[in-house]
């Protein structure tokens, strides 16, 4: 029984640490901390990082989350909607130095293997400086980089 409680505590600590890391990788800006607190407490950032919605669609999505139990004042919820619309709106660029695999794959059209190669390279070598460096990563299709280049930020 005691061993089970220890394992449960360790699992909870790992999940909390992963959530903090995921929140830290969000783009900078007003609302980042709120999104980390309100949204990532319930689900991972992959749920919204791969979406590219209009401000109205983000407002509907946040309202749906409130209906499901998310908590925040009207001002906080408006800040969250504005943050999501700015960073994950229709015309938002993928932040290549912080984007998780799922965002690179879904938004930019890379395969799982290519997106994993990008994340692994970035984790090993630090932030990417530009599309030219991205093209030097083994296993990443240069044609896909050129196609998606306008949707990337470094």
Q: Are 121 and 137 in contact (CB under 8 A)?
A: yes
Whose structure tokens read 């600590």?
13
pTM, full prediction: 0.82
Tens digit of each residue's pLDDT (9 = 90 or more) over 59-106: 999 999 999 999 999 999 999 999 999 999 999 999 999 999 999 999
Q: Are 45 and 22 in contact (CB under 8 A)?
A: yes
Query: Which band of pLDDT confidence, cut at 50, 70 and 90, is reported for residue 41?
Result: confident
User: What distances in angstroms separate CA 117 from CA 24, 109, 145, 151, 152, one per listed residue?
Assistant: 21, 14, 13, 19, 16
pLDDT tops 80 at residue 10: no
Domains, in order of start, for the chain: 2-88 (no CATH), 94-153 (1.10.150)
């Amino acid at each position: 029984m005691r061993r089970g409680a220890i394992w449960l505590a360790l699992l909870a600590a790992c999940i909390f640490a992963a959530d903090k890391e995921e929140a830290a990788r969000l783009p900078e800006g007003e609302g980042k901390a709120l999104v980390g607190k309100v949204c990532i407490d319930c689900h991972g950032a992959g749920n919204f990082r791969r979406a590219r919605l209009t401000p109205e669609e983000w407002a509907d999505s946040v309202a749906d989350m409130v209906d499901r139990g998310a908590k925040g004042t009207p001002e906080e919820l408006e800040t969250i909607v504005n943050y999501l619309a700015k960073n994950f709106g229709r015309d938002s660029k993928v932040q290549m130095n912080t984007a998780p695999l799922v965002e690179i794959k879904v938004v930019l059209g890379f395969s799982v293997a290519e997106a994993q190669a990008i994340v692994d390279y970035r984790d090993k070598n630090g932030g990417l400086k530009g599309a030219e460096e991205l093209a030097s990563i083994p296993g990443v299709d240069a044609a896909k980089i050129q196609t998606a280049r306008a949707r990337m930020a470094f």
